[in-house]
Amino acid sequence: MGSLLSWFTVRGTSFLAAGVVAILAGMFLGSSPLISVGALLLCLPVFSVITARRARYQLRCDRTILPPRVAPGQPATITLRLQNVSRIASGLLLAEDTVPFSLGARPRYVLNAIERGGAREVSYQLRSDLRGKFTVGPVRIRIADVFGLVELAADFAATSTLTVTPKVVPLVNSPTTGSWSSDGEGRTRMTAAAGDDDVIPRPYRNGDELRRVHWRSTARYGELMVRREEQRWQDRAVLILDTRAEAHAGTGPSSSFEFAVSAAASVGVHLARAGLGGQLLTDGGPVAGSAMFEDVLLDALSVVRPSHNRDFARTLAPLTTIEGGMIVLIAGRLSEQSARTLAAARRDGRQAIAILLATSTWAEPSGSRPDEIGPTAARLAETGLPETGPAEAVLRAAGWRVVTVDAGTPLQVAWQRLPRFGSLTGPVTGLRPDQAPDDAATEAGVRPR
C-alpha cells in the first residue's frame, strides 16, 4: 500500500481520501449521489496512474556529448532529447541527468507535456580540470499527469562517457627528422641510387599505386611487382611512460607524474600528427595504435594512474619484441641498470629521445598529506633511485638525445633543447659498432653497478 501511495502527489492523495470519505458518508446516510461523487474521486487518480504509467514506458531518451573528448577546462555540451513515441500525450516532465559529483550538480529541467510523436531537447555544459573518463547518466524522469494527481519515476539505462584528456601543449620544433627505422630514408636512397636495373622489387599489395609497378620485374616473375625504393617510411614510434609512484614526486595536478602524463600526451600527439603510428608502454602493458594513434593514446593516458610497481623492467620488457621505429622515453628517477637496458634497445640506427624529470624539484611543500602518492624530497632518498645524472650519461653514451626537465621548465622549452639528430651533446656522442652500452658508460665516467 505504501508503494502504491508513493505514486500519488499531495493532490492525488487528497482526492483518494476525499473519495473514501464521500463513499463512507454516502453509505451511512444512504445517499446515492454522494456515493457516486466518492467513486468519481477515487476513479480519477486511478485513471491518472494508468495514463502516466503508459506514457512512462513509451518515452525515448537520446544523449549526445560534443565533443566527446575534451582538454582540461574545456566545456563539453550535453544534449538530451526526449521523444514521446506513445499514442497519447505525456504529462508534465521533470528531467534530471546523473553526472559525477566532481563535475558539479545534477542538471534538472521541467518540460511541458510532450504531444504524440513530439520531442523536446535540453542542453547543458560540463567541464573538468582533472583528466579522466566520466560516466554521464542515466537520465531520471518524473512524469506527472495533466491533473497533477500522479507522479511516476522512470530511469533510462543508457549512459555516455566524457573523456577529459591530459593537457596537450603544442611542440613547435620537430627534432624527429632522420632515419626512424631500418626501412627509412637511408635505405631508400641507397636502393634508389642503384639504378633501375638493380631495383629490388616486391609483390604488389592492395592500395599500391599503379605508377609504382616495375614492368620488367612483373614480366620476369609473372605477377605485379612494385619498386621498393618508392615505399613509404616505416613511421612508427614507441612511447615509454614511467608510471612508478616511487619515481615521481609531488601530489595532484602539480606533481611530476601529471607533468609526465602531459608530456607523453603532447609528444604522442606531435608524432601522430607528423604521420607516425606507434605504441604506448607502461607497466600496465603496451597500448597499440596505428592510424588512430592520437585517439588511442589520449584515451589511454586519460585514465593512467601511478602504480606501486618498483621494477622498471616490466615496462621495458615489450621492447625486445618491437622492431624498428623511434623510441621516446619520459621517466622520473631512473636507475643505471634501467638506463643500460634502454641503451641496449637503441639499435639499427633507431632514433631515441629521453625526457628525464628532476623529480626533487616537484617535492611536496610542508604540510602535505603523507598518504598521498608521490614521495617527498626526504623519502626520495629512501627509494634507492639516483638523480638523473648517471642515467643521463649512460643514455647519451648510447646515442640517445637526452634532456633533463625541472619543475620550472615548460615542456615546449625542454623540447626545443633536445639536441638534433646527428649532433648529440654529452660525454659520448654514440656507440662504436663493437662497443657495448656498459663500455660506453664507462667511457662517460659512469661505473656500472
- Amino acid 332: pLDDT: 92
In the chain, domain spans: 2-55, 59-164, 190-230, 236-443
What pLDDT score does 364 carry?
56
- Band (276; pLDDT cuts 50, 70, 90): confident
Residue 138 has pLDDT above 90, yes or no: yes
User: What average pLDDT does range 314-318 have in this prediction?
Assistant: 86
Same CATH topology for 59-164 and 236-443: the answer is: no
What pLDDT does residue 388 have?
A: 65
pLDDT at 199 over 60: no
- The H helix count followed by the E strand count for the chain is 13, 18
> Cell numbers at residue 313, please?
623492467
- The string of DSSP codes covering 97-108 is E---GGG-SPPE
Q: Where are the alpha helices (DSSP H) in 222-306?
A: 256-273, 293-301
pLDDT band at 371 (very low <50, low <70, confident <90, very high): very low
CATH number of 236-443: 3.40.50
Q: Mean pLDDT score of the chain, rounded to an integer?
A: 78
This prediction's pTM? 0.70
Tens digits of per-residue pLDDT, 401-449? 999 999 999 999 999 888 865 444 333 333 333 343 344 333 333 333 3
* Residues 93/110, Cβ–Cβ less than 8 Å: yes
At residue 291, the pLDDT reads: 54
Give 76 or 206, the one with higher predicted confidence: 76
CA dihedral 308, 386, 342, 279 (to 10 degrees): 40
Q: How far apart are CA 329 and CA 264, in angstroms?
A: 9
Task: Say what the pLDDT of residue 319 is.
Answer: 82
Does the pLDDT of residue 331 top 90, yes or no?
yes
pLDDT tens per residue, range 146-171: 777 887 787 888 899 999 999 999 99
More reliable by pLDDT, 247 or 372: 247
Cell numbers for 190, please give them.
641507397
What pLDDT does residue 3 have? 61
- Identify which has the larger pLDDT, 355 or 225: 355
Cis ω before 437 (30° cut-off from 0): no
The mean pLDDT of 189-194, rounded to a whole number, is: 38
Q: C-alpha distances in angstroms, 289 versus 262, 296, 421?
A: 18, 6, 25
Domain at 59-164, CATH from 1.10.3720.10, 2.60.40.10, 2.102.10.10, 3.40.50.720: 2.60.40.10
